[in-house]
Structure 1
Amino acid sequence: MYISGVTIDLNVFKFCTSLRGLGSIMILIVLGIVGVTYYAVVLTNYGPALFLGGFDTLASLTVLILFHCLLVMLLWSYFAVVFTDPGTVPPNWKPSVDEERGEVDPLNEVELSNLQSDPSNQQIRYCRKCSQPKPPRCHHCSVCGRCVLKMDHHCVWVVNCVGALNYKYFLLFLFYTFLETTLVTISLLPHFITFFTDGEIPGTPGTLATTFLTFVLNLAFSLSLLGFLVMHILLLAANATTIEAYEKRNTPKWRYDLGRRKNFEQVFGMDKGYWFIPAYSEEDIRRMPVLQGLEYPSTLDFNVPEF
């Protein structure tokens, strides 16, 4: 970049690559927030209330059971997103369909060589950074430095890309985090209100400050996650990713929209017993190739170019 006679070396890809260094820091931040919340809800407020008897004991027991159940699902989903590869283009992968002729006809080495010399060919998607063909809905991540199958976005909170193989886990993480933060906000609301009363408030200054901080943090996360969750529910219903949202707005009929039921199953599978846990049944993996992220059924002809 050249400004007023001064040359500035600005490389956005170097900035993207530097985001990898957040790694364990972001995970520690998430665990730190969970730890503070656990201390405020369980150890400071509702744990001791179990021994008060009567309605207080019943209310505390209900809150603690819900809190721990949601916490287990939240952490399970979170680490599933963190440690699950979102999907990588297999080595030496070749398109299995010649889109120009409309029939099964894998590209040979000469055709691949011609494709590499002419990346502008819209019949077959090609990544100039990875120097390889790209499957449908695959995009290059500048942070990870590779192509990701059905890439949605790179999330710094999970230190990973969100793609074909972990998108379900990411949605469940949003869902359980929203429920958990909402539960914490509601359960700590009476304690928060007491800060603005004239009566004596039980607890040490440290525990009171922790309760106040936990309420504000969980309220903020709950409100922000609500909008984010609604956005992804709409994308899920239309079978589109965050990256594809712009393309979808400029397309009369989105090629991958097969109806809400089928769109949902392409992410969560057909086995209802696995819908709310971050895992797939072996039967779904066997009978649904779409879960592997390489091939997607479309309502349009393959002749429609994809960007």
Structure 2
Amino acid sequence: MSSLPAANNVNQDEQEIEIIQHHPIHHHESSEHPLNQEEEDDESHRSYGNSGVMMGNRLNNRSSEFEKKPLLMNSDSSQPSDQTITSPLAGIGNKVTQLSVDSQNFFDKLEDKRVSMSPLDSLYDSKFGFIVLKGAKYCMRIFGLFMVMVAVVLLSLNFYFYFAVTLPMMNTQMWTYTFHLLLGLYIALSISFNYVQCVRVSPGVTPKEWVDSLDNVETFRNDTKSVPGKNWSKWCGRCQQPKPIRAHHCHICDVCVLRMDHHCPWLNNCVGLQNHKYFVGFIGFLALAALYNFVMISLGVFGFYTPDPILYATWSGWLTFVMVLSGSLGLTMTTFTGWHVYLVLTNQTTIEFQFNKMKAVRSKSGGSDNPYNIGMKSNIQQVYGLATPEDSVLGWAKLLMLPNLQKSPVDGINYPTNQPKGGENV
């Protein structure tokens, strides 16, 4: 016969479990100042965490009292058994307490704006994730250097083939040869200049002077949205400083890039405010060079002009391959150039285009929601600089087709918008 104290204890624990199962997690008493939705959610999280901790402690206390009581094997025995009954509450209290503490800590961090919803940022919280991401970042930088060397080799081979094979093989008159020579030099120099500038020029990062000039920097942690009318959007959890509007953090360069478009491994650099025009110029002239080489080789292969017999016989095995490769590259880069020309004309970046389309879909409106589209002319000038002389064909030709060392007229902090005057970033 089992002892009555043990049986009564089990019944009490079962009643305790039933009571806890029906215990309300949180309850808001009526007050004169009702909480708004955000404050109510925060209060609910705190109440949930505190209630969980109290329930866990209560379960642990009941379990300890239960296990301290000995088990009498029968009513006739005067000596208690050395065995004890394991409470059904054992372990549950610890789990409830730990779960509640973890939940409470998470919401405390979330309220402090130090928790980022980015999957990459969340990996930095663990030591293993930090090591993996740091290693991946350095690997990408090394890979970027390798890609730059590959690009230089490929461009050099392309230039060599044109000037050493395609141009001499045309076997044309002197003036025609001179025209194609000068055109080839112009394209080659334009490609080289823009590529070097893409690699060399910083896309623009958050100015230290701007951060130092701000008052109450800690209040920037409370902002999570990019709103026209403000010269900042939110706090960067990786840089631990305010992030200017239209800026994004690059996890490879490990900086916040102004008006960031994307990180390009072929450049080992980000494309942003100060080097976007060089990137557009590079891919544009590269597309022109590939299509031009394709046309010149095709005219000789298909008999539109009589090629030099010696060069044609020497390079006949390569001509078809280079022709197909140039045509494919030309079509690809033309499409890519067209896309970036569209972004420049509408004053968007690749990242912003995706966000603008999502906002338009959510608002069920046609087109895209882009507050920075201030007109084609002004949009181009934000990327390329000011044409001199202004509003002349010569000025715009110099701005777009010749080497351009002008910086963007915007500072990367303030951007004019198409919103009413009260909503401009000034």
TM-score, L = length of structure 2: 0.56
Partner of 2:414: 295
Contact 1:17–1:144 under 8 Å retained in 2: no
- 1:257 paired with 2:373, answer yes
For residues 208 and 156 of structure 1, the distance between their equivalents in structure 2, rounded to whole angstroms, comes to 34
Partner of 1:26: 147
Q: Which amino acid aligns with 1:23?
A: G
Out of 190, 201, 207, which is 1:84 matched to? 201
Partner of 1:234: 342
For residues 145 and 318 of structure 2, the distance between their equivalents in structure 1, rounded to whole angstroms, comes to 24
For residues 15 and 302 of structure 1, the distance between their equivalents in structure 2, rounded to whole angstroms, comes to 45
Q: Deviations over 1:39-93 (max 9, x none)?
A: 32221242365xx5xx454443332221111101111111011100000112253
Higher deviation after alignment, 295-304 or 81-90: 295-304
For residues 331 and 377 of structure 2, the distance between their equivalents in structure 1, rounded to whole angstroms, comes to 28
SS class of match (1:39): helix
Higher RCO, 1 or 2 (CA under 8 Å, sep at least 6)? 1
Q: Which amino acid aligns with 2:182?
A: I
In the TM superposition, what are the counterparts of 1:131-280 in structure 2 within 5 Å?
131-193=240-302, 202-203=310-311, 207-249=315-357, 250-251=359-360, 253-271=369-387, 272=395, 273-280=398-405
Contact 1:192–1:215 under 8 Å retained in 2: no
Which ranges in structure 2 are unaligned for 5 or more consecutive residues? 1-127, 228-232, 388-394
Contact 1:77–1:277 under 8 Å retained in 2: no
- Are the structure 2 counterparts of residues 160 and 226 from structure 1 closer, same or farther at C-alpha, using a change threshold of 3 Å? same
SS class of match (2:373): coil
Out of 110, 121, 125, which is 2:234 matched to? 125
RMSD: 3.1
For residues 377 and 158 of structure 2, the distance between their equivalents in structure 1, rounded to whole angstroms, comes to 36
SS class of match (1:140): strand
Partner of 1:100: none
Contact 2:374–2:417 under 8 Å retained in 1: yes
- 1:72 paired with 2:197, answer no
For residues 128 and 66 of structure 1, the distance between their equivalents in structure 2, rounded to whole angstroms, comes to 49
Higher deviation after alignment, 217-226 or 159-168: 217-226
Contact 1:236–1:263 under 8 Å retained in 2: yes
Contact 1:240–1:248 under 8 Å retained in 2: no
For residues 136 and 239 of structure 2, the distance between their equivalents in structure 1, rounded to whole angstroms, comes to 19
Partner of 1:113: 218
- Are the structure 2 counterparts of residues 301 and 130 from structure 1 closer, same or farther at C-alpha, using a change threshold of 3 Å? farther
For residues 135 and 67 of structure 1, the distance between their equivalents in structure 2, rounded to whole angstroms, comes to 42
Q: Deviations over 1:250-270 (max 9, x none)?
A: 246411010111111111122
Contact 1:82–1:159 under 8 Å retained in 2: yes
TM-score, L = length of structure 1: 0.76
Contact 2:226–2:245 under 8 Å retained in 1: no
For residues 314 and 146 of structure 2, the distance between their equivalents in structure 1, rounded to whole angstroms, comes to 25
SS class of match (1:133): strand
Bigger-Rg structure (1/2): 2
- 1:61 paired with 2:178, answer yes
Identity among equivalent pairs (%): 25
Runs of 4+ in 1 over 6 A off after TM superposition: 301-304
SS class of match (1:300): coil
For residues 275 and 201 of structure 1, the distance between their equivalents in structure 2, rounded to whole angstroms, comes to 40
Q: Deviations over 1:1-57 (max 9, x none)?
A: xxxxxxxx77567535422112332222222222222332221242365xx5xx454
Q: Which amino acid aligns with 1:262?
A: S
- Are the structure 2 counterparts of residues 113 and 302 from structure 1 closer, same or farther at C-alpha, using a change threshold of 3 Å? farther
For residues 128 and 79 of structure 1, the distance between their equivalents in structure 2, rounded to whole angstroms, comes to 32
Q: Which amino acid aligns with 1:225?
A: M
More helix per residue: 1 or 2?
A: 2
SS class of match (1:243): helix
For residues 329 and 133 of structure 2, the distance between their equivalents in structure 1, rounded to whole angstroms, comes to 29
Which ranges in structure 1 are unaligned for 5 or more consecutive residues? 1-8, 96-105, 195-199
Partner of 1:93: 210
Partner of 2:136: 15
For residues 243 and 181 of structure 1, the distance between their equivalents in structure 2, rounded to whole angstroms, comes to 28
Q: Deviations over 1:209-231 (max 9, x none)?
A: 44333323221211101111111
- 1:42 paired with 2:163, answer yes
For residues 225 and 176 of structure 2, the distance between their equivalents in structure 1, rounded to whole angstroms, comes to 64
Q: Which amino acid aligns with 1:26?
A: M
Contact 1:125–1:133 under 8 Å retained in 2: yes
Q: Which amino acid aligns with 1:170?
A: F
Contact 2:235–2:243 under 8 Å retained in 1: yes
Q: Which amino acid aligns with 1:275?
A: L
